[in-house]
Amino acid sequence: MKYSLVILLLATALLSYSQMPSNFNSSRNWSMNKKEIFFSFGASQFLGDLGGRDRIGTTKSPADIDWNMTRGGFGFGYRYRFHPMWAWSTQLYGGIVKGDDANTNEIVRRSRNLSFRSPIIEFSQRIEAIVYANERVGARYRIKGLKGFKSTSEVLYLFTGVSGVWFNPKMEINGQWTALQPLGTEGQGLPGGADEYRRVTVAIPFGVGFKMGIGRFWRIGIEVIYNKTFTDYMDDVSTTYFDPNALGSAEAAYASNPSIENQSWFAPGQQRGNANDKDAYLLTNFVLTRNITYPKPRGGSRIKWSGRTKF
Confidence (pLDDT) at 30:
75
Residues 6+ apart with CB under 8 A from 167: 97, 118, 119, 120, 199, 200, 201, 231, 234
CA 256 – CA 34 distance, rounded (Å): 51
The Cα-based distances of 1 to 12, 49, 78 in angstroms read: 17, 20, 33
Residue 211 has pLDDT above 90, yes or no: yes
Instruction: Tell me what pLDDT residue 162 has.
Output: 98
Asked if 131 contacts 158 with a C-beta cutoff of 8 angstroms, the reply is: yes
Confidence of residue 75 (pLDDT cuts 50, 70, 90): very high
State the average pLDDT over residues 172-181: 95
Q: Specify the fold of 2-310.
A: Porin (2.40.160)
Confidence of residue 53 (pLDDT cuts 50, 70, 90): confident
pLDDT band at 277 (very low <50, low <70, confident <90, very high): confident
For the chain, give every domain's residue range.
2-310
Burial code of 227-266, b = ≥16 C-beta within 10 A, e = fewer?
A: bbbebbbbbbbbbbbbebeebeeebbbbbbbebeeeeeeb
pLDDT for position 20: 42
Q: What is the mean pLDDT of residues 252-281?
A: 93
pLDDT value of position 294: 73
CA distance 210 to 200: 30
